[in-house]
Chains A and B, each alone.
Chain A
Amino acid sequence: MRQHPRYVDMDKCIACGQCAAKCPKKVDDEYNAGLNKRKAIYVPYSQAVPLKYAIDPRYCIYLQKGRCGVCAKVCPSGAINFEDTEKMRTIEVGSVILAPGFRSFDPGRLDTYSYGQAPNVITAVEFERILSATGPFGGHLVKPSAAKAGTAPKKIAWIQCVGSRDINRCDHGYCSSVCCMYAVKQAVMARDHSSGDLECAIFYMDMRTQGKDFDRYLENAKKSGIRFERARVHSVAPPQHGDDLTLRYARQNGDIAEETFDIVVLSTGLEIAPESVALAEKLGVPLNSDHFAATDSFAPVATGKPGIFACGAFTGPKDIPHSVMEASAAAAAATESLSVARHSQTHTLVLPKETDVSGQAPRIGVFVCNCGINIGGVVRVPEVAEYARTLPNVTYVEENLFTCSQDTQDKMAEVIAREKLNRVVVAACTPRTHEPLFQATLASAGLNRYLFEMANIRNQDSWVHANDPDAATRKAKDLVAMAVAKAALLTPLTQTELPMSRNALVVGGGIAGLTAARALARQGFPVHLVEKSDVLGGHGRRLRATWRGEPVGERLAGLIADLEADPLVHIHTNTAVTEVDGFVGNFKTRISTGGGSETIDHGVAILATGAKEYKPKEYLYGQHPAVVTQTELDDLIGAGDERLAGATDVVFIQCVGSRNAERPYCSKVCCTHALRNALAIKAASPETNIYVIYRDMRTYGLREEIFREARAQGVMFFQYDPEAPPAVEAEGDRVRVTFHDHILNRPVAVDADLLALAAAVVSDAENGLAQFFKVPVDGDGWLLEAHQKLRPVDFATDGVFLCGLAHYPKPIDESVSQALAAAARAATFLARDTILVGGVVSWIDPALCTGCGGCIQVCPYNAIAMSEITGMAEVNPALCKGCGACAAACPSEAPILMGFNNRQLYAQIHSALAA
């Protein structure tokens, strides 16, 4: 591995920004897509972790020409090191995960959109930055051509599929998967940012909002007045007069239209950068023809090279939830072979015995930091320190140049012992970054880590009131007084260890459940797999092939054989969960099989209970033998049914039971499934006419390939609007399907030998499992994860995870990814011997509790239950996350949030207003 020099010592840099303020070299800021400038010494973006500066050697005057060096002169901590050199490192690893991401397509390669010539033609990435508070215009929506004047746009167009679904102009045949949703989001946000009546129009081919809750968002956007124009834009003419941009496009009926806009946003697609291609070549990782890492639907994070795994957009265009799932999935896959080495290189921290401070009067030490000149340059630190000495219970005060430096930490530990301090207040930066550091110093000095409080006099004071030193100094004094007042009331908090069962329970024996069970067993954990029916395999048993053509039956058989052969896996078929008790690490679940029942002790549970196919009420389904669902068509194709062999006309109707008022979601799998079946019919009998009547063809991502293939094979496509669905009537053995043809602009009737309906995927939530595990279900019946983007397989309740169709409809590769991800998340608990509970958690004072249960209702983590013995509410500290919602809800203030109790908060309020 080659590590580039950063010319800044990470241990010394305190991210004060003096260097960048004084650096004379301005360059384009890549993070803001070049819309503004940064310096040659910089932090790539304000939320960067770790927050440390770096010198860009391409532009640094000193590194280029040997003079300047201003940053070294102004750096208060001596962090600049021009002598820094490139380092070569060799590390020994058991597996590698590649996550190099994507780059946004550069529309400068196309000559039709005036990109690069007209300043108000921008990419979606540029627009994203314009909308951002940390962007080039501070979050104000202005025309880039008139940013200085602050002129707001009145009309914005988005052009979809720029650099996607286009083999003629950019050789990217695939769909980039994310652009429809981000364009809708940008249009909604643009209107939020706009004071007037901003007109937004999105020009698209198919709106592909197939993700969970995405379709609902799309429909709300339509209702809010955002215009969706199904049209391919021919060109954006450069401005002739002023800066109006003229779009020329063809409406669906063929009419050519021209319309002017203030800003045109190009919804640019995702592509793999040449550096990533080179990396893959170097590592021997095979790529597909679009330069994405080649993967298999049943091993979606394994590359073609054993031991090397991949996740994110590198394996195909995808959104955040799917990328996060894949990241956890890659962690599961990459650690399977390493599980024997688990904990072999971990170190245990040995701490001195904690001093007992109970019964002692508070002796508070206050450390006021100058942070170089970051605080001291604005706030009069000596005055603040003097003031601190006058506060009650303060027995020691000192000023530091850098309180966080290692020598100050060593000294702080000595001072705590020498001065017999039993509370510490640091007035410096923010507890969000530095509290753990100071708490560790307290612990090393034998003081309970919770006897600590910070006053944020940098981020929330000197940095934001730099022009008003008097007010900043007054505020710093108040903040110190508030911290001292709270510190005097702090009590030591303890954490205790609870045992952790190493067993996992997986509920559901479909592809997701089987995959999760196998992954956990391969990590070395015993697994109980519970399946309600008498066979394993779930819906996978009826699917013939994935969209890529992998045989599902064969793979499923292999998966089941692996599990049956694994001594760590206990398979319970014909079994139902009847009772769940306990919590993470300590679940006791009762399962019943036939007449018998048993109790399983387990540490975690994965819910993979799947979904069902909708039984259509529409289009004569169940009333006419020629009408089947796509899954039934699978059976007919698999059996080589004669009805297919003799068919001359087959009609498919999409979105049957999906994307309607009753089920306002997209079932995600049906477009691809239908085309896969269309191609299978065409392969067996090329003469058969196939008519696909659809709303938006959602062959997202690399699946676009089979849409192209279907058109090449002569499958015919007709778009319909939900207001005018096709009509179906019986016509002897056949059914007559009447629908509107947009090109002919007249109704067309086809007498179909077979009508296949893309029936919705519907929830199986009535199985009651969610109630057993006390996890939420959304309005459509899908299990509701803790966070749709960032915690896609977790629940708010610790120790319970989800995967597969129970979460939302999805194809096999995504189910497998999610199952692996759930296994990885579960393993983070199972790998521990014990779980730590306590610290900042709630405790309910039984003397004050009236047993009304109000706290139980507001607790988002199901951490509170009514004690059967006392009739009072009790907090399970293993589940409590310390949010304190219970404390606010209780009319008698019975719940006490440790470390943030009401006495402490009242003391802070009092001090804030005392001066």
Chain B
Amino acid sequence: MNPEPFEPKIVAFFCNWCTYGAADLAGVSRLSYPPNIRAIRVMCSATVSPHHVLKAFQEGADGVLVGG
């Protein structure tokens, strides 16, 4: 019996001025990507501290993406 395929849960921190805008543009351009990401908008990727990353793993994230 095949186990369920692994679907990672990824928490993403997107800088409002670049990556968040790029993610919006991906939508405008109707690009497609896997639906595993839950994005959190921040005002700069510099505001993402190790605490946030560790918190995400603590809460059960399989991956963390910081885009800035």
Tell me the bound Cα distance from A430 to B26 in angstroms.
Answer: 12
Which among A256-264, A326-334, A772-780, A879-887 touches the partner chain? Answer: A879-887
A391 interface residue, CB < 8 Å from B? no
Asked if A456 contacts B39 (CB within 8 A), the reply is yes
Asked whether, in the complex, the Cβ of A910 is within 8 Å of the Cβ of B59, the reply is yes
B36-67 to A contact mask, C-beta < 8 Å, 1/0: 00111111101111011001100111000000
For B44, what are the chain A residues with a Cβ–Cβ distance below 8 Å?
Answer: 883-885
Check A883 against B47 for contact (C-beta < 8 Å). yes
Q: Which of A461, A897, A913 interacts with B47 by CB under 8 Å?
A: A897
Interface string of B15-26 (1 = CB under 8 A from A): 010001101111
Cα–Cα distance between A283 and B42 once the two chains are bound (Å): 48
Q: Looking at the complex, which one of A432, A475, A893 makes contact with B21 (CB distance below 8 Å)?
A: A432
How near does chain A come to B4, taking the closest CB pair, in angstroms?
14
Q: Does A488 contact B (CB under 8 A)?
A: no
Shortest distance between the CB of B60 and any CB in chain A (Å):
5
- B27's partner among A47, A463, A910 (CB-CB below 8 A) is A463
Known A883-B47, A900-B47, A910-B59; contact A460-B21, beta-carbon cutoff 8 A: no
Chain B residues, Cβ within 8 Å of A909: 11, 40, 52, 55-56, 59, 61
| Chain B residues within an 8 Å CB radius of A902 | 51-52
**Which residues of chain B come closer than 8 Å to A460, judged between CB atoms?**
23-24, 26-27, 39
**Is the CB of A17 closer than 8 A to any CB of chain B?**
yes
Residues of A within 8 A of B1 (CB): none
- Is B6's beta carbon under 8 Å from chain A? no
Residues of A within 8 Å of B11, CB to CB, are 909, 912-913
A60 to chain B: closest CB distance in Å? 22
CA distance A889 to B50 in the complex (A): 9
Q: Which residues of A contact B41 (CB under 8 A)?
A: 431, 456
Inter-chain CA distance A142–B30, complex, in Å, is 22
A600 neighbours in B (Cβ, 8 Å): none
- Does B35 count as interface, using CB distance less than 8 angstroms? yes
Residue A3 lies at the interface, judged by CB distance under 8 Å to chain B: no
Q: Provided the pairs A431-B41, A908-B40 are in contact, do residues A913 and B61 lie with their beta carbons within 8 angstroms? A: yes
Among B23, B27, B48, the most chain A Cβ lie within 10 Å of the Cβ of B27
Counting chain B residues whose Cβ lies within 8 A of the other chain, the interface size class is 35 or more
A482 interface hit (Cβ, 8 Å): yes
Interface residue A888 (Cβ < 8 Å from any Cβ of B): yes
Distance of A458 Cα from B40 Cα, bound (Å): 15
Question: How many angstroms between the C-alpha atoms of A460 and B39 in the bound complex?
Answer: 9
Interface centre among A461, A464, A482 (most CB of B within 10 A): A464
Interface pair B46/A888, CB less than 8 Å apart: yes
Chain B residue with the shortest CB-CB distance to A476: B35
Q: Which of A243-251, A336-344, A466-474 contacts B (4 or more CB under 8 A)?
A: A466-474
- Count A/B pairs, Cβ under 8 Å: 119
Q: Give bound CA distance, A417 to B24, whole Å.
A: 32
Asked if A51 lies at the interface with its beta carbon under 8 angstroms from chain B, I say yes
Residues of A within 8 A of B23 (CB): 459-460
A74 CB–B CB distance under 8 Å: no
Known: A883-B44, A909-B56. Is A893-B51 also a contact (CB below 8 A)?
yes
Residue in B24, B55, B60 with the greatest tally of chain A CB atoms within 10 Å: B24
Contact across chains for A475 and B59 when beta carbons are under 8 A apart = no
Complex Cα spacing A887 to B44, Å: 11
Assuming the contacts A459-B27, A882-B43, asked whether A475 and B20 have C-beta atoms less than 8 A apart, the reply is: no
In whole Å, how far is A210's beta carbon from the nearest beta carbon of chain B?
Answer: 29
CA distance A797 to B45 in the complex (A): 19
Chain A residues, Cβ within 8 Å of B29: 46, 134
Partner of B40, one of A461, A465, A905: A905
Decide if A387 is an interface residue (CB 8 Å cutoff).
Answer: no
CB distance from A418 to the nearest CB of B (A): 30
| A912 x B35 contact (CB < 8 A) | no
| Contacts of A415-472 to chain B: CB distance below 8 A | 430-433, 456, 458-461, 463-468, 471-472
When distances are taken between beta carbons in the complex, the residues of chain B under 8 Å from A908 are 40
Q: Contacts of B39 on A, CB cut-off 8 Å?
A: 456, 460
Within 8 Å CB of B21, what residues of A?
A: 432
A505 interface residue (CB < 8 Å to B): no
A819: B residues at CB distance < 8 A? none
Cβ contacts A616-632/B at 8 Å (1 or 0 each): 00000000000000000
> CA A530 – CA B31 in complex, angstroms?
55
Q: Which residue of B lies closest to A470 (CB)?
A: B35
A728 contacts the other chain (CB 8 A): no
Q: Which 9 pairs, one residue from A and one from B, show the smallest C-beta to C-beta distance?
A: A884-B47, A459-B27, A883-B44, A463-B27, A885-B46, A888-B49, A912-B38, A471-B35, A459-B24
Given A464-B30, A909-B11, 15 more pairs with CB closer than 8 A:
A433-B24, A460-B39, A463-B27, A464-B27, A466-B30, A858-B46, A882-B43, A885-B47, A888-B46, A888-B47, A900-B47, A906-B55, A909-B40, A913-B59, A913-B61
> What are 22 A-B contacts with C-beta separation under 8 Å?
A17-B30, A47-B25, A134-B29, A430-B27, A432-B24, A459-B24, A459-B27, A460-B26, A463-B28, A468-B35, A884-B42, A884-B43, A884-B44, A888-B48, A888-B49, A902-B51, A909-B55, A909-B56, A909-B59, A909-B61, A910-B59, A913-B11
Which residues of B are in contact with A by a Cβ distance under 8 Å? 9, 11, 16, 20-21, 23-33, 35, 38-44, 46-49, 51-52, 55-56, 59-61
Q: Which residues of A contact B (CB under 8 A)?
A: 15, 17, 46-47, 51, 134, 430-433, 456, 458-461, 463-468, 471-472, 474-475, 478-479, 482, 840, 858, 882-885, 887-889, 893, 897, 900, 902, 905-906, 908-910, 912-914
